[in-house]
Structure 1
Amino acid sequence: MTDYEVLRLAKDAGIDKAAIVDADDLIFEYDFRKYCEMNNCGNYGKNYGCPPDCGTPEEMEAKARKYQKALVLQTIQPVNDITDGQETGPLKKKHNTVVRRFMDQLAESGIEGLPIMAGPCSACKTCAKTEGNPCRFPERVASCLSAYGINVAKLCETCKIPWDYGVHKVGFFAIYMMGEK
């Protein structure tokens, strides 16, 4: 499947903006891990896709660097108050549902990849970590951009996708790493 076809499928799947960039152009800044460690989302140590269980920033970068291309995906949704987590939380889940469905579609068509999502892994309704059990689907675990240390502002510059839509729209991002080296 060509890059153009992948981008067209993304649009058909409900992705508002998509771009494919060379994986070597991704910028990793390990300081972004501090956003995970601040535990504002409440998932630090409670989700296999989150730190510290997902791996060190260096290990996360090494996982991503095994791929040739990064398919950057963005959904844009209206919001009354972008700073209100009660409002944006469900929108992030909606984004991840749309993106995960699209990534599954790509995998089913033979384009295997590494998912990097917005927020904690949501492959399961309840993460087995919270129950003290091993991960049910380790091949589906997806960590967030902060866990990887990916600077979204610089990512947006690289792929020419805006990231700031003002106070009444929110853009969430995901990346699907493709083309294992």
Structure 2
Amino acid sequence: MITKEEIEKKITEYPIFEYAFFDTSELNFYEAVRTICKNECPQYGKSWSCPPGVGTLEECKTRCLSYNNAFIFSTISEVNDIANMDEVLSTRREHIRIVDQIKKNVFGRDEDILILTAESCDLCDKCTFPDKACGHLDRMYPCIESHTISVTDICEKHNMSFFNGHNVVTWFGMILF
């Protein structure tokens, strides 16, 4: 199993803004986060990376707590207008590229990990949910919030920045190992 020291040594090659390690026992699972997804997110019920495609609250909690360690990190991107959602979401691809590289080059293909990241997966023009299984399980990363985990809660506990200035988008990735 990879160690925290090995991860720290390897992630210096990537444009990581901030990161923290913690035990998965520190994770809090909030039903209210799932309620927000259901009531406010246009991807609810439309993607394998979002509820209900990711499973029930209990299934998500069990999945996360089957790992001992968590590594959360952020990347940042500047945009011209933070209110322009198309521009904001266009910066997500670079974050996912970094997540893919960390998965491959830091954790390796054989490491048993769970990757959760920001926003709903957008690998396909139209997700196969719920009619067919996901065809990209190796690259489809569920949203952190889909597992009822509050990113702001983790940021507060581990002195990470959530807001990093006007017109700065902060993306988060979390790898459980």
Q: TM-score, normalised by structure 1?
A: 0.85
Is 1:155 the counterpart of 2:127 in the alignment? Answer: no
CA contact (8 A) 1:128 1:136 kept: no
The one-character-per-residue Cα deviations of 1:129-149 (angstroms, maximum 9, x if unpaired) are 169432224455421111111
CA contact (8 A) 1:37 1:44 kept: yes
Structure 1 segments (4+ residues) deviating >3 Å:
124-128, 137-141
Query: In the TM superposition, what are the counterparts of 1:44-59 in structure 2 within 5 Å?
Result: 44-59=44-59
- Whichever residue aligns with residue 37 of structure 1, its letter is K
- Provide the rounded CA distance (Å) in 1 between the counterparts of 2:171 and 2:38: 20
**CA RMSD in angstroms, aligned pairs only:** 2.2
- Bigger mean CA deviation after superposition, 21-30 or 10-19: 10-19
CA contact (8 A) 2:53 2:129 kept: no
Is 1:120 the counterpart of 2:120 in the alignment? Answer: yes
Task: Kindly indicate which of the two structures has a greater share of residues assigned to helix.
Answer: 1
SS of the aligned residue for 1:8 comes to helix
Q: Which runs of 5 or more residues in structure 2 are unaligned?
A: none
Query: In the TM superposition, what are the counterparts of 1:158-173 in structure 2 within 5 Å?
Result: 158-173=157-172
- Whichever residue aligns with residue 173 of structure 2, its letter is A
- Whichever residue aligns with residue 30 of structure 1, its letter is E
SS of the aligned residue for 1:111 comes to coil
Instruction: Determine the structure 1 residue equivalent to 2:11.
Output: 10
CA contact (8 A) 1:35 1:146 kept: no
- Provide the rounded CA distance (Å) in 1 between the counterparts of 2:101 and 2:80: 26
Structure 1 residues 8 and 171 mapped into 2: Cα distance closer, same or farther (>3 Å)? farther
- State the 1:74 CA deviation: 0.4
- State the 1:112 CA deviation: 2.4
Aligned length: 176
- Whichever residue aligns with residue 27 of structure 2, its letter is L
